A and B are shown apart, each in its own frame.
Chain A
């Protein structure tokens, strides 16, 4: 049954993934997401699932691969430097067509960086990070409720496409509290169901045929055919998984593009600009890959500038420029390293950009 509760982001994320059917979790502690393995270690065994603290993020992602290849519905989580370590496994999961739900509660970088919120992993999560031709759908929630809904849905998406799915939250969302409505618990898949519903899974060949989950393809033509097969799936994902929210584009002078925490902040900024007589709208990509390029078709003739607002030195702006395609100037408003601007700071920078274009 659905229930309304006040929860910390990280605990709500964990609860949502479990309720979405994730029965197996493997994780390694890292700030700002350590509440997730803590919460799941306590709650998942009560529901018949399995928790295992891994020796490293490399261990965690490969445990997830083993459990996913076995037909289990798997959830792993980490934060930026830990996600870097997991990239080897993500490439392998995609190659071997093993589903998994991955949560990145991102922080500032590069290197060990800091522990405050960041969005500087945009390139890493949308462009790969692991080797080879592959994609992982990435969803960026702006509120805890949206993260809950996405993590609840993510296992079904991962299973449908037999590919990992990532939810990219940031440290701000992980650490804050909001009232949320929790969806009802979905049943966990049983061993008997795995043998029937997932004939590809390694579950013991007594099921009637032998299963092999693999990545190696030594002959170039065989590997090429496999990658082409993977990309048929990615083409479907690009059609079916692209998501965004936009507001006030018709008569906007300024159009902000922002995701996650910074999109919330831009909504405040839009109100502050309205007080100054400036109309602004926003495109909020919910799916970062596939990127909602078509959302930009709705930008009207009054728009003088598109501003990519990011907690990085400007990464999403690459996609924003591709989407705008030279029709109007594209500018960046950003902070990085864990710093988050105020809505007034964004307003003042946006007004300065608009003034400079006149």
Chain B
């Protein structure tokens, strides 16, 4: 009998440390499936961030290193100088990329670094237990915004795709979501395009994944998916923010 589905060799067959209903596992799988389909599993170097996914290297079956908080784009820039012909990516959460690592991501994008960044936006600090992130929505509760984030006290959430799309070095920027099968299929296409852009040496590529954090949102997994549809996507519109003609 011909199998209709096999788990990608890009994932190490172990249980992940992620919570039930968290979409890190979906994002991991999409990236690794695409790398396997491209025949690049043995030719790839990934950078894990600080955050829940610091242990991504325990699940992603490629050479990887950890990085200090926010510094993954600088680390990947160093890797790229030594290995100009490998596939290089960073995998970063919203605290890592959009708060402490904003300087590094902006400059990597501005330099047109030829690596891809997969940006997990779940609107909260997961690993440290639910503090306000730079992407936390107005009104959304967090342990450091217990009555909900207000514009007056904490300012407005940061829209990373819109921000980075202003930079000439950033050539492919897309925001996708992991809340529905259709969105997940679209997300996989975005991962493919990011690696296409990298392979062609066109410049910096980033895919933002609107993701869940049921544990720290205080919602069930189904409620979390509903929250994405009703609250998150209206503020963070899905779509391609920058796309080179060649891809």
Contacts and interface: CB of A to CB of B under 8 A. Distances in A.
A in complex with B: yes
Interface stretch (B57-65, B175-183, B231-239): B57-65
B63 A211 contact: yes
B79 A58 contact: no
Contacts of A63: 74-75, 77-78, 81
Nearest to A92: B68
A249 to B, nearest CB: 45
A215 B66 contact: yes
Nearest to A95: B66
Q: Which of B43, B44, B66 has the most CB of A within 10 A?
A: B66
B66 A214 contact: yes
Contacts of B62: 204-205, 210
Contact of A65 (B44, B64, B78): B78
A71 B42 CA distance: 17
Q: Which of B67, B82, B83, B103 has the most CB of A within 10 A?
A: B82
A258 to B, nearest CB: 36
B41 interface: yes
A216 B55 contact: yes
B77 A204 contact: no
Interface residues of B, number: 33
A67 B79 CA distance: 5
A204 B45 contact: yes
Interface string B72-107: 001111111111001000000000000000011011
Nearest to B76: A66
Interface string A71-100: 110100000000000001100100010000
A180 B77 CA distance: 35
Nearest to A26: B78
B78 A62 contact: yes
Given A211-B63, A212-B65, A62 B43 contact: no
A88 B68 CA distance: 8
Nearest to B65: A213
Interface string A157-193: 0000000000000000000000000000000000100
A56 interface: yes
A24 B43 contact: no
A212 B68 contact: no
Contacts of A92: 68
Contact of A216 (B41, B64, B66, B106): B66
Contacts of A50: 81-82
Given A62-B67, A62-B68, A202-B65, A191 B78 contact: no
A309 B63 CA distance: 49
Contacts of B242: none
Interface in B25-72: 41-45, 47, 54-55, 57, 61-68, 71
A92 B212 CA distance: 30
B104 A59 contact: yes
Contacts of A70: 45, 78-79, 82-83
A308 to B, nearest CB: 35
Interface in A22-50: 24, 26, 50
A214 B62 CA distance: 14
A24 B74 CA distance: 14
Contacts of A213: 64-66
Given A62-B74, A206-B42, A194 B103 contact: no
Contact of A68 (B71, B78, B106): B78
Given A70-B82, A70-B83, A65 B67 contact: yes
Given A54-B74, A59-B104, A204 B66 contact: no
A66 B63 contact: no
A212 B71 contact: no
16 contacts: A54-B74, A55-B74, A62-B74, A64-B78, A66-B80, A70-B45, A70-B82, A74-B78, A203-B45, A203-B82, A204-B43, A204-B45, A204-B62, A204-B83, A204-B86, A212-B63
Interface of B: 41-45, 47, 54-55, 57, 61-68, 71, 74-83, 86, 103-104, 106-107
